[in-house]
A = this chain, B = another copy of it.
Amino acid sequence: MTVVKDKLEADKLLKVAEILKTIAHPVRLKIIEVLSDEKRTVSELMEATAIEQSLISHHLIKMKDKGVLSSYREGKNVYYQLVDDHITKIFDCMEGCSFI
């Protein structure tokens, strides 16, 4: 059996839990998946996810708040992007699990 190398401190567990909670939603995972390719505008994300404007905005802002995404405006559009690509590894990680 593999042992987790270093035990995570309680506060780090909290932080990890917070991030996981932030992304533990099918739409948010889809957003991450789409953004793994490259940055997208809100409109593009709406189309990619088939989620209406206000709701996707809520999702995006929450993910931004929690540090997973960042955004910048360019004219009428706002682009969202992953703060750290590393997060996409979570798909590999999960897919490796027998129960998925």
User: A: which residues have CB within 8 A of B?
Assistant: 1-5, 7-8, 10, 12-17, 19-21, 23-26, 28-30, 33, 36-38, 66-68, 83-100
Contact = CB atoms under 8 A, between A and B. Distances in A.
B97 A8 contact: no
A24 B84 CA distance: 19
A4 B16 contact: no
Contacts of A85: 1-2
A13 B38 contact: no
Contacts of A25: 17, 21
Contacts of A88: 2, 4
**Nearest 6 CB-CB pairings of A with B:** A20-B24, A67-B99, A21-B24, A4-B36, A84-B98, A86-B96
